[in-house]
Chains A and B, each alone.
Chain A
Protein backbone atom coordinates (compact mmCIF):
# COMPACT_ATOMS: atom_id res chain seq x y z
CA UNK A 1 0.00 0.00 0.00
CA UNK A 2 1.41 3.38 -1.04
CA UNK A 3 2.32 5.85 1.71
CA UNK A 4 -0.10 8.61 2.70
CA UNK A 5 -0.22 11.70 0.43
CA UNK A 6 1.85 14.43 2.06
CA UNK A 7 -1.16 16.78 2.27
CA UNK A 8 -2.62 14.49 4.96
CA UNK A 9 -0.27 16.01 7.54
CA UNK A 10 -2.43 17.90 10.06
CA UNK A 11 -2.52 21.60 9.13
CA UNK A 12 -1.91 23.34 12.44
CA UNK A 13 -1.51 27.13 12.35
CA UNK A 14 2.28 27.26 11.95
CA UNK A 15 2.74 24.53 9.31
CA UNK A 16 4.28 26.05 6.15
CA UNK A 17 2.09 26.43 3.06
CA UNK A 18 3.03 24.67 -0.16
CA UNK A 19 2.29 25.65 -3.75
CA UNK A 20 0.97 22.80 -5.88
CA UNK A 21 4.41 22.32 -7.47
CA UNK A 22 6.15 22.32 -4.09
CA UNK A 23 3.62 19.82 -2.85
CA UNK A 24 4.13 17.62 -5.94
CA UNK A 25 7.88 17.74 -5.41
CA UNK A 26 7.44 16.53 -1.83
CA UNK A 27 5.03 13.80 -2.94
CA UNK A 28 7.64 12.65 -5.44
CA UNK A 29 10.31 12.41 -2.72
CA UNK A 30 7.91 10.35 -0.61
CA UNK A 31 7.17 8.01 -3.54
CA UNK A 32 10.86 7.76 -4.40
CA UNK A 33 11.73 6.85 -0.81
CA UNK A 34 8.98 4.23 -0.70
CA UNK A 35 10.12 2.76 -4.01
CA UNK A 36 13.72 2.62 -2.79
CA UNK A 37 12.62 0.90 0.45
CA UNK A 38 10.31 -1.65 -1.17
CA UNK A 39 11.75 -2.27 -4.65
CA UNK A 40 15.44 -1.35 -4.59
CA UNK A 41 16.62 -2.04 -1.05
CA UNK A 42 15.57 -5.75 -1.14
CA UNK A 43 18.23 -6.15 -3.85
CA UNK A 44 20.84 -5.64 -1.13
CA UNK A 45 19.77 -8.81 0.69
CA UNK A 46 19.79 -10.76 -2.59
CA UNK A 47 23.23 -9.45 -3.53
CA UNK A 48 24.48 -10.43 -0.08
CA UNK A 49 23.07 -13.97 -0.23
CA UNK A 50 23.85 -14.67 -3.88
CA UNK A 51 27.33 -13.24 -4.33
CA UNK A 52 28.80 -11.23 -1.46
CA UNK A 53 28.41 -13.90 1.25
CA UNK A 54 29.60 -16.82 -0.95
CA UNK A 55 32.66 -14.78 -1.99
CA UNK A 56 33.37 -13.85 1.64
CA UNK A 57 33.05 -17.48 2.79
CA UNK A 58 35.25 -18.75 -0.05
CA UNK A 59 37.91 -16.21 0.83
CA UNK A 60 37.79 -16.34 4.65
CA UNK A 61 36.55 -19.92 5.18
CA UNK A 62 34.00 -18.63 7.70
CA UNK A 63 30.87 -16.49 8.00
CA UNK A 64 31.12 -12.72 8.65
CA UNK A 65 31.48 -12.05 12.39
CA UNK A 66 29.36 -8.89 12.61
CA UNK A 67 27.70 -6.06 10.70
CA UNK A 68 31.03 -4.27 10.31
CA UNK A 69 32.46 -7.19 8.32
CA UNK A 70 29.29 -7.32 6.24
CA UNK A 71 29.58 -3.60 5.53
CA UNK A 72 33.17 -3.93 4.36
CA UNK A 73 32.18 -6.84 2.10
CA UNK A 74 29.06 -5.08 0.74
CA UNK A 75 30.66 -1.70 0.11
CA UNK A 76 31.99 -2.74 -3.30
CA UNK A 77 28.75 -4.41 -4.43
CA UNK A 78 27.09 -2.59 -7.37
CA UNK A 79 23.61 -3.08 -5.89
CA UNK A 80 24.56 -1.53 -2.56
CA UNK A 81 26.49 1.31 -4.18
CA UNK A 82 23.60 2.29 -6.44
CA UNK A 83 20.98 2.02 -3.67
CA UNK A 84 23.20 4.03 -1.31
CA UNK A 85 23.81 6.73 -3.88
CA UNK A 86 20.08 7.01 -4.62
CA UNK A 87 19.18 6.85 -0.93
CA UNK A 88 21.57 9.69 -0.13
CA UNK A 89 20.21 11.73 -3.04
CA UNK A 90 16.62 11.15 -1.90
CA UNK A 91 17.54 12.50 1.54
CA UNK A 92 19.07 15.65 0.04
CA UNK A 93 16.07 16.08 -2.26
CA UNK A 94 13.74 15.76 0.72
CA UNK A 95 15.38 18.63 2.60
CA UNK A 96 15.55 20.79 -0.55
CA UNK A 97 11.84 20.17 -1.26
CA UNK A 98 10.98 21.56 2.17
CA UNK A 99 13.62 24.29 2.47
CA UNK A 100 12.44 26.08 -0.69
CA UNK A 101 8.87 26.74 0.55
CA UNK A 102 10.08 27.60 4.07
CA UNK A 103 12.61 30.07 2.69
CA UNK A 104 9.91 31.71 0.57
CA UNK A 105 7.55 32.30 3.50
CA UNK A 106 9.98 32.63 6.40
CA UNK A 107 8.97 36.22 7.28
CA UNK A 108 5.33 35.13 7.47
CA UNK A 109 6.13 32.09 9.62
CA UNK A 110 8.18 34.20 12.05
CA UNK A 111 5.37 36.76 12.34
CA UNK A 112 2.77 34.00 12.81
CA UNK A 113 4.81 32.32 15.54
CA UNK A 114 4.67 35.56 17.55
CA UNK A 115 0.98 36.23 17.16
CA UNK A 116 -0.76 32.95 17.89
CA UNK A 117 -3.48 32.75 20.56
CA UNK A 118 -2.04 31.66 23.91
CA UNK A 119 -2.84 28.31 25.51
CA UNK A 120 -0.78 29.01 28.64
CA UNK A 121 2.57 27.49 27.73
CA UNK A 122 5.92 29.25 28.03
CA UNK A 123 9.11 29.63 25.98
CA UNK A 124 12.47 30.36 27.61
CA UNK A 125 15.50 30.74 25.35
CA UNK A 126 19.17 30.95 26.30
CA UNK A 127 21.18 32.64 23.54
CA UNK A 128 24.40 31.84 25.45
CA UNK A 129 23.82 28.07 25.53
CA UNK A 130 26.86 26.37 23.94
CA UNK A 131 25.88 24.08 21.05
CA UNK A 132 27.41 20.67 21.85
CA UNK A 133 30.00 19.36 19.41
CA UNK A 134 27.79 16.39 18.48
CA UNK A 135 25.38 18.89 16.89
CA UNK A 136 27.92 21.42 15.64
CA UNK A 137 30.35 19.02 13.90
CA UNK A 138 28.03 17.88 11.11
CA UNK A 139 24.40 18.66 10.29
CA UNK A 140 22.49 15.71 11.79
CA UNK A 141 20.62 13.57 9.23
CA UNK A 142 21.81 15.97 6.49
CA UNK A 143 19.38 18.71 7.59
CA UNK A 144 21.23 21.84 6.47
CA UNK A 145 21.84 24.00 9.56
CA UNK A 146 20.75 21.33 12.06
CA UNK A 147 18.27 22.17 14.83
CA UNK A 148 20.18 25.15 16.14
CA UNK A 149 21.30 27.47 13.30
CA UNK A 150 19.45 30.80 13.10
CA UNK A 151 19.18 32.66 9.82
CA UNK A 152 16.98 35.57 10.94
CA UNK A 153 15.84 37.30 14.12
CA UNK A 154 13.33 35.10 16.02
CA UNK A 155 13.96 32.40 13.41
CA UNK A 156 11.69 29.36 13.17
CA UNK A 157 13.05 28.02 9.83
CA UNK A 158 14.61 24.82 11.16
CA UNK A 159 11.43 24.03 13.12
CA UNK A 160 9.25 24.44 10.04
CA UNK A 161 11.69 22.44 7.91
CA UNK A 162 11.90 19.62 10.45
CA UNK A 163 8.13 19.39 11.01
CA UNK A 164 7.37 19.05 7.31
CA UNK A 165 10.37 16.83 6.54
CA UNK A 166 9.54 14.33 9.29
CA UNK A 167 6.16 13.73 7.67
CA UNK A 168 7.80 13.08 4.31
CA UNK A 169 10.71 11.10 5.81
CA UNK A 170 8.39 8.71 7.65
CA UNK A 171 6.00 8.69 4.68
CA UNK A 172 3.11 9.66 6.96
CA UNK A 173 3.44 6.50 9.01
CA UNK A 174 3.81 8.42 12.28
CA UNK A 175 0.27 9.92 12.08
CA UNK A 176 -0.91 13.32 10.77
CA UNK A 177 0.72 14.83 13.89
CA UNK A 178 4.09 13.03 13.49
CA UNK A 179 3.51 11.92 17.08
CA UNK A 180 3.67 8.14 16.86
CA UNK A 181 6.81 7.67 18.94
CA UNK A 182 5.45 9.70 21.87
CA UNK A 183 1.94 8.24 21.53
CA UNK A 184 3.26 4.66 21.38
CA UNK A 185 5.65 5.20 24.27
CA UNK A 186 3.10 6.81 26.59
CA UNK A 187 0.56 4.09 25.77
CA UNK A 188 3.17 1.50 26.78
CA UNK A 189 3.99 3.41 30.01
CA UNK A 190 0.30 3.61 30.99
CA UNK A 191 -0.16 -0.09 30.38
CA UNK A 192 3.04 -1.12 32.17
CA UNK A 193 2.62 1.25 35.14
CA UNK A 194 -1.18 1.70 35.49
CA UNK A 195 -0.95 3.34 38.94
CA UNK A 196 1.80 5.76 37.91
CA UNK A 197 0.45 9.33 37.92
CA UNK A 198 3.28 11.72 37.04
CA UNK A 199 2.80 15.34 38.16
CA UNK A 200 5.67 16.74 36.07
CA UNK A 201 6.98 15.29 32.80
CA UNK A 202 10.14 16.28 30.92
CA UNK A 203 10.67 15.56 27.20
CA UNK A 204 14.39 15.78 26.45
CA UNK A 205 15.53 16.72 22.92
CA UNK A 206 11.90 17.58 22.11
CA UNK A 207 12.63 19.51 18.84
CA UNK A 208 9.22 20.76 17.58
CA UNK A 209 7.25 18.82 20.20
CA UNK A 210 5.84 16.04 18.01
CA UNK A 211 6.15 13.49 20.82
CA UNK A 212 5.64 15.91 23.72
CA UNK A 213 1.94 16.53 23.13
CA UNK A 214 0.76 12.89 23.59
CA UNK A 215 1.88 13.10 27.25
CA UNK A 216 -0.48 16.04 27.79
CA UNK A 217 -3.31 13.91 26.41
CA UNK A 218 -2.34 10.86 28.48
CA UNK A 219 -1.79 12.77 31.73
CA UNK A 220 -4.05 15.85 31.51
CA UNK A 221 -3.27 16.95 35.09
CA UNK A 222 0.52 16.87 34.63
CA UNK A 223 2.76 19.85 33.88
CA UNK A 224 4.62 19.18 30.63
CA UNK A 225 8.15 20.46 29.93
CA UNK A 226 10.27 20.16 26.80
CA UNK A 227 13.95 21.01 26.35
CA UNK A 228 16.20 21.17 23.31
CA UNK A 229 19.47 22.82 22.34
CA UNK A 230 17.95 24.51 19.25
CA UNK A 231 16.17 27.87 19.54
CA UNK A 232 14.45 27.72 16.10
CA UNK A 233 12.84 24.34 16.82
CA UNK A 234 11.73 25.51 20.29
CA UNK A 235 10.10 28.70 18.97
CA UNK A 236 8.26 26.53 16.46
CA UNK A 237 7.39 23.93 19.14
CA UNK A 238 5.92 26.66 21.33
CA UNK A 239 3.87 28.13 18.48
CA UNK A 240 2.70 24.67 17.43
CA UNK A 241 1.65 23.65 20.96
CA UNK A 242 -0.15 26.95 21.56
CA UNK A 243 -1.99 26.67 18.24
CA UNK A 244 -3.06 23.13 19.17
CA UNK A 245 -4.21 24.33 22.60
CA UNK A 246 -1.59 22.63 24.80
CA UNK A 247 0.17 24.56 27.60
CA UNK A 248 3.72 23.16 27.35
CA UNK A 249 6.79 24.76 28.97
CA UNK A 250 9.63 24.78 26.46
CA UNK A 251 13.15 25.90 27.33
CA UNK A 252 16.51 25.92 25.57
CA UNK A 253 18.72 23.63 27.64
CA UNK A 254 21.21 20.83 27.19
CA UNK A 255 19.90 17.59 28.75
CA UNK A 256 23.40 16.88 30.09
CA UNK A 257 22.97 19.73 32.55
CA UNK A 258 19.65 21.50 33.16
CA UNK A 259 18.52 24.21 35.58
CA UNK A 260 15.58 22.25 37.06
CA UNK A 261 15.71 21.50 40.83
CA UNK A 262 16.55 18.04 42.21
CA UNK A 263 13.62 15.60 42.11
CA UNK A 264 11.50 17.98 39.98
CA UNK A 265 10.15 15.31 37.60
CA UNK A 266 8.28 12.01 37.96
CA UNK A 267 8.71 11.05 34.33
CA UNK A 268 11.56 11.86 31.93
CA UNK A 269 11.26 10.77 28.31
CA UNK A 270 13.01 11.15 24.99
CA UNK A 271 12.16 10.03 21.47
CA UNK A 272 14.95 9.26 18.99
CA UNK A 273 17.18 11.68 20.89
CA UNK A 274 19.77 9.23 22.25
CA UNK A 275 21.35 8.49 18.84
CA UNK A 276 21.85 12.23 18.29
CA UNK A 277 24.06 12.65 21.36
CA UNK A 278 27.40 10.95 22.13
CA UNK A 279 28.79 8.22 24.40
CA UNK A 280 29.97 10.89 26.85
CA UNK A 281 26.76 12.92 26.63
CA UNK A 282 24.36 10.00 27.19
CA UNK A 283 26.21 9.15 30.42
CA UNK A 284 25.88 12.75 31.61
CA UNK A 285 22.21 12.75 30.56
CA UNK A 286 21.67 9.60 32.64
CA UNK A 287 23.33 11.19 35.70
CA UNK A 288 21.28 14.34 35.21
CA UNK A 289 18.10 12.23 34.90
CA UNK A 290 18.95 10.52 38.19
CA UNK A 291 19.21 13.96 39.84
CA UNK A 292 16.00 15.27 38.28
CA UNK A 293 13.83 12.27 39.15
CA UNK A 294 11.74 11.95 42.25
CA UNK A 295 12.03 8.52 44.04
CA UNK A 296 9.90 6.03 42.12
CA UNK A 297 10.23 8.20 39.02
CA UNK A 298 10.79 6.70 35.56
CA UNK A 299 13.02 7.46 32.57
CA UNK A 300 12.09 6.04 29.14
CA UNK A 301 13.93 6.55 25.83
CA UNK A 302 12.75 5.40 22.36
CA UNK A 303 15.02 4.29 19.55
CA UNK A 304 15.17 1.60 16.86
CA UNK A 305 16.20 -1.87 18.16
CA UNK A 306 19.78 -2.52 19.33
CA UNK A 307 21.97 -4.39 16.86
CA UNK A 308 22.28 -7.41 19.17
CA UNK A 309 18.53 -8.04 18.67
CA UNK A 310 18.90 -8.14 14.87
CA UNK A 311 20.67 -10.45 12.44
CA UNK A 312 24.11 -9.17 11.40
CA UNK A 313 22.75 -8.34 7.93
CA UNK A 314 19.74 -6.43 9.31
CA UNK A 315 22.05 -4.57 11.70
CA UNK A 316 24.23 -3.65 8.71
CA UNK A 317 21.19 -2.26 6.87
CA UNK A 318 19.96 -0.34 9.92
CA UNK A 319 23.48 1.01 10.42
CA UNK A 320 23.50 2.70 6.98
CA UNK A 321 22.71 6.09 8.54
CA UNK A 322 25.91 6.10 10.60
CA UNK A 323 28.22 6.58 7.61
CA UNK A 324 25.79 7.80 4.97
CA UNK A 325 23.30 10.15 6.60
CA UNK A 326 25.29 12.31 9.03
CA UNK A 327 24.24 10.29 12.08
CA UNK A 328 27.70 9.80 13.63
CA UNK A 329 26.44 8.30 16.93
CA UNK A 330 23.77 6.07 15.36
CA UNK A 331 25.96 2.94 15.34
CA UNK A 332 27.50 3.25 18.81
CA UNK A 333 24.14 4.21 20.35
CA UNK A 334 22.71 0.93 19.04
CA UNK A 335 25.35 -0.97 21.01
CA UNK A 336 24.84 0.65 24.42
CA UNK A 337 24.98 -1.56 27.51
CA UNK A 338 21.85 -0.40 29.35
CA UNK A 339 22.60 -2.16 32.64
CA UNK A 340 26.04 -0.57 32.79
CA UNK A 341 24.55 2.78 31.81
CA UNK A 342 22.10 2.41 34.73
CA UNK A 343 24.74 1.43 37.27
CA UNK A 344 27.17 4.19 36.20
CA UNK A 345 24.46 6.82 36.69
CA UNK A 346 23.44 5.52 40.11
CA UNK A 347 20.26 3.71 39.03
CA UNK A 348 19.57 0.19 40.29
CA UNK A 349 20.50 -2.05 37.29
CA UNK A 350 17.73 -4.43 38.41
CA UNK A 351 15.17 -1.70 37.73
CA UNK A 352 16.40 -1.22 34.17
CA UNK A 353 13.95 -2.42 31.51
CA UNK A 354 13.62 -2.76 27.72
CA UNK A 355 10.48 -3.32 25.64
CA UNK A 356 9.06 -3.21 22.15
CA UNK A 357 6.08 -0.85 22.09
CA UNK A 358 3.64 -1.44 19.21
CA UNK A 359 2.89 1.62 17.12
CA UNK A 360 -0.11 3.57 18.39
CA UNK A 361 -0.96 4.75 14.86
CA UNK A 362 -2.97 1.84 13.50
CA UNK A 363 -3.83 3.48 10.16
CA UNK A 364 -0.12 3.46 9.34
CA UNK A 365 0.04 -0.32 9.63
CA UNK A 366 -0.76 -1.25 6.01
CA UNK A 367 1.90 1.17 4.79
CA UNK A 368 4.76 -0.26 6.82
CA UNK A 369 7.48 -2.45 5.37
CA UNK A 370 8.04 -4.28 8.72
CA UNK A 371 11.75 -3.79 8.23
CA UNK A 372 14.30 -1.72 10.13
CA UNK A 373 16.54 -0.28 7.43
CA UNK A 374 18.23 2.97 6.48
CA UNK A 375 15.84 5.42 4.82
CA UNK A 376 12.69 3.54 5.89
CA UNK A 377 12.18 5.11 9.32
CA UNK A 378 8.92 4.21 11.03
CA UNK A 379 8.47 1.17 8.79
CA UNK A 380 9.05 -1.34 11.58
CA UNK A 381 5.66 -0.92 13.28
CA UNK A 382 7.20 -1.08 16.78
CA UNK A 383 9.47 1.20 18.80
CA UNK A 384 12.28 -0.04 20.99
CA UNK A 385 12.18 1.42 24.50
CA UNK A 386 14.74 1.32 27.25
CA UNK A 387 14.26 2.78 30.66
CA UNK A 388 15.12 3.04 34.32
CA UNK A 389 13.12 3.39 37.52
CA UNK A 390 14.55 5.31 40.45
Chain B
Protein backbone atom coordinates (compact mmCIF):
# COMPACT_ATOMS: atom_id res chain seq x y z
CA UNK B 1 0.00 0.00 0.00
CA UNK B 2 1.35 3.45 -0.93
CA UNK B 3 2.67 5.55 1.92
CA UNK B 4 0.31 8.42 2.78
CA UNK B 5 1.82 11.77 1.81
CA UNK B 6 0.18 13.56 4.74
CA UNK B 7 -0.24 12.46 8.31
CA UNK B 8 -3.71 13.46 9.62
CA UNK B 9 -4.16 13.88 13.40
CA UNK B 10 -6.25 11.35 15.36
CA UNK B 11 -6.45 13.46 18.53
CA UNK B 12 -9.22 16.09 18.64
CA UNK B 13 -8.13 19.43 20.07
CA UNK B 14 -9.57 19.74 23.58
CA UNK B 15 -9.23 18.06 26.96
CA UNK B 16 -10.36 14.42 27.05
CA UNK B 17 -13.01 13.87 29.77
CA UNK B 18 -12.14 11.53 32.63
CA UNK B 19 -14.93 9.29 33.93
CA UNK B 20 -13.15 7.00 36.38
CA UNK B 21 -10.99 7.98 39.34
CA UNK B 22 -8.06 6.27 37.69
CA UNK B 23 -7.61 7.58 34.12
CA UNK B 24 -6.14 4.21 33.15
CA UNK B 25 -9.65 2.73 33.39
CA UNK B 26 -10.89 5.09 30.67
CA UNK B 27 -7.92 4.15 28.52
CA UNK B 28 -8.53 0.44 29.12
CA UNK B 29 -12.13 0.78 28.01
CA UNK B 30 -10.95 2.50 24.85
CA UNK B 31 -8.35 -0.22 24.23
CA UNK B 32 -10.84 -3.05 24.82
CA UNK B 33 -13.42 -1.53 22.46
CA UNK B 34 -10.74 -1.06 19.80
CA UNK B 35 -9.66 -4.69 20.24
CA UNK B 36 -13.29 -5.79 19.94
CA UNK B 37 -13.38 -3.79 16.71
CA UNK B 38 -10.34 -5.58 15.35
CA UNK B 39 -11.90 -8.96 16.23
CA UNK B 40 -15.00 -7.89 14.28
CA UNK B 41 -12.82 -6.88 11.31
CA UNK B 42 -11.16 -10.33 11.37
CA UNK B 43 -14.55 -12.00 11.67
CA UNK B 44 -15.88 -10.14 8.64
CA UNK B 45 -12.80 -11.00 6.60
CA UNK B 46 -13.09 -14.66 7.58
CA UNK B 47 -16.77 -14.63 6.69
CA UNK B 48 -15.92 -13.08 3.32
CA UNK B 49 -13.31 -15.77 2.69
CA UNK B 50 -15.77 -18.58 3.43
CA UNK B 51 -18.41 -17.05 1.19
CA UNK B 52 -16.02 -16.46 -1.71
CA UNK B 53 -14.75 -20.03 -1.46
CA UNK B 54 -18.31 -21.34 -1.35
CA UNK B 55 -19.32 -19.19 -4.33
CA UNK B 56 -16.40 -20.60 -6.34
CA UNK B 57 -17.25 -24.14 -5.30
CA UNK B 58 -13.93 -24.63 -3.52
CA UNK B 59 -15.24 -25.24 -0.01
CA UNK B 60 -18.87 -25.06 1.05
CA UNK B 61 -20.06 -23.51 4.29
CA UNK B 62 -21.30 -27.00 5.20
CA UNK B 63 -17.80 -28.41 4.74
CA UNK B 64 -16.64 -25.93 7.37
CA UNK B 65 -19.58 -26.49 9.73
CA UNK B 66 -19.22 -30.28 9.50
CA UNK B 67 -15.45 -30.34 9.79
CA UNK B 68 -14.55 -33.16 12.18
CA UNK B 69 -11.80 -32.53 14.64
CA UNK B 70 -9.16 -35.22 14.81
CA UNK B 71 -7.53 -35.75 18.20
CA UNK B 72 -4.39 -34.18 16.82
CA UNK B 73 -6.15 -31.00 15.61
CA UNK B 74 -8.14 -30.74 18.85
CA UNK B 75 -4.94 -30.96 20.89
CA UNK B 76 -3.23 -28.35 18.74
CA UNK B 77 -6.16 -25.99 19.19
CA UNK B 78 -6.25 -26.58 22.93
CA UNK B 79 -2.61 -25.67 23.08
CA UNK B 80 -3.17 -22.53 20.98
CA UNK B 81 -6.06 -21.40 23.21
CA UNK B 82 -4.04 -21.96 26.34
CA UNK B 83 -1.23 -19.80 25.02
CA UNK B 84 -3.68 -17.23 23.78
CA UNK B 85 -5.40 -17.00 27.18
CA UNK B 86 -2.08 -16.80 28.96
CA UNK B 87 -1.17 -13.89 26.73
CA UNK B 88 -4.48 -12.04 27.10
CA UNK B 89 -4.81 -12.72 30.83
CA UNK B 90 -1.15 -12.24 31.63
CA UNK B 91 -1.88 -9.49 34.13
CA UNK B 92 -4.20 -11.79 36.10
CA UNK B 93 -1.72 -14.65 35.99
CA UNK B 94 0.98 -12.36 37.30
CA UNK B 95 -0.95 -11.89 40.55
CA UNK B 96 -0.77 -15.62 41.17
CA UNK B 97 2.89 -15.84 40.23
CA UNK B 98 3.66 -13.10 42.68
CA UNK B 99 1.91 -14.98 45.48
CA UNK B 100 3.73 -18.17 44.54
CA UNK B 101 7.22 -16.82 44.14
CA UNK B 102 7.60 -13.68 46.13
CA UNK B 103 7.50 -12.58 49.74
CA UNK B 104 5.44 -9.70 51.05
CA UNK B 105 8.40 -7.44 50.71
CA UNK B 106 7.41 -4.16 49.03
CA UNK B 107 9.24 -2.89 46.00
CA UNK B 108 10.00 0.32 47.84
CA UNK B 109 11.79 -1.61 50.57
CA UNK B 110 14.05 -3.11 47.91
CA UNK B 111 14.81 0.34 46.52
CA UNK B 112 15.63 1.54 50.00
CA UNK B 113 17.74 -1.52 50.77
CA UNK B 114 19.93 -1.13 47.71
CA UNK B 115 20.21 2.62 48.20
CA UNK B 116 21.44 2.52 51.75
User: Using a CB–CB distance below 8 Å, which chain A residues touch chain B?
Assistant: 20-21, 24-25, 27-29, 31-32, 81-82, 84-86, 88-90, 92-93, 95-97, 99, 102-104, 106-107, 137-139, 142-146, 151-152, 157, 161, 323-324, 326
**Nearest residue in B to A323 (C-beta to C-beta)?**
B17
Minimum CB–CB distance for B11 against chain A, Å: 6
Chain B residues with CB below 8 A from A25, complex form: 37-38, 40-41
Complex-state Cα separation, A51 to B14, whole angstroms: 33
By the criterion CB–CB under 8 Å, are A27 and B44 in contact? yes
By the criterion CB–CB under 8 Å, are A85 and B14 in contact? no
Stretch from B25-33, B78-86, B91-99, B108-116 forming part of the interface with A: B25-33
Given A21-B45, A152-B5, A92 and B30 contact (CB-CB distance below 8 Å): yes
By the criterion CB–CB under 8 Å, are A85 and B13 in contact? no
Minimum CB–CB distance for B5 against chain A, Å: 6
- In B7-22, the 8 Å CB interface with A consists of 7-14, 16-17, 19-20
By the criterion CB–CB under 8 Å, are B34 and A24 in contact? no
Mark B25-57 against chain A: 1 for CB-CB distance below 8 A, else 0.
110011001101110110011001000000000
Chain B residues with CB below 8 A from A103, complex form: 4, 6-8
CB of B1 closer than 8 Å to a CB of A? yes
CB of B2 closer than 8 Å to a CB of A? yes
By the criterion CB–CB under 8 Å, are B37 and A157 in contact? no
Given A89-B33, A107-B5, A138-B12, A324 and B17 contact (CB-CB distance below 8 Å): yes
Chain A interface mostly? helix
Residue in B1, B8, B29 whose Cβ sees the most chain A Cβ within 10 Å: B8
By the criterion CB–CB under 8 Å, are B7 and A90 in contact? no
Complex-state Cα separation, A29 to B20, whole angstroms: 23
By the criterion CB–CB under 8 Å, are B19 and A144 in contact? no
Chain B residues with CB below 8 A from A143, complex form: 12
Chain B interface mostly? loop
Apart from the given pairs A21-B44, A89-B34, 13 other A-B contacts in the complex at a CB distance below 8 Å: A20-B44, A25-B41, A27-B40, A28-B37, A85-B29, A88-B16, A92-B10, A93-B37, A99-B10, A107-B5, A138-B14, A142-B14, A146-B13
Minimum CB–CB distance for A135 against chain B, Å: 10
Contact of A85 among B6, B9, B12, B20 (CB under 8 A): B20
By the criterion CB–CB under 8 Å, are B8 and A28 in contact? no
Chain B residues with CB below 8 A from A31, complex form: 40
Chain A residues with CB below 8 A from B11, complex form: 144
Chain B residues with CB below 8 A from A89, complex form: 29-30, 33-34
**Nearest residue in A to B41 (C-beta to C-beta)?**
A24
Residue in B2, B9, B29, B37 whose Cβ sees the most chain A Cβ within 10 Å: B37
Complex-state Cα separation, A281 to B35, whole angstroms: 42
Chain B residues with CB below 8 A from A85, complex form: 19-20, 25-26, 29-30
By the criterion CB–CB under 8 Å, are A138 and B13 in contact? yes
Chain A residues with CB below 8 A from B44, complex form: 20-21, 24, 27
Chain B residues with CB below 8 A from A146, complex form: 13
27 A-B residue pairs with CB within 8 Å: A24-B41, A25-B38, A32-B36, A82-B19, A84-B17, A85-B30, A86-B29, A88-B16, A88-B26, A90-B33, A93-B34, A103-B4, A103-B6, A138-B14, A142-B12, A142-B14, A143-B12, A144-B8, A144-B10, A144-B11, A145-B8, A151-B6, A151-B7, A152-B6, A157-B6, A323-B17, A324-B17
By the criterion CB–CB under 8 Å, are B17 and A106 in contact? no
Contact of B33 among A27, A86, A326 (CB under 8 A): A86
Chain A residues with CB below 8 A from B37, complex form: 25, 28-29, 32, 93, 97
Chain B residues with CB below 8 A from A88, complex form: 16-17, 19, 26
Contact of A20 among B20, B34, B38, B48 (CB under 8 A): B48
Minimum CB–CB distance for B41 against chain A, Å: 4
Complex-state Cα separation, A81 to B7, whole angstroms: 33
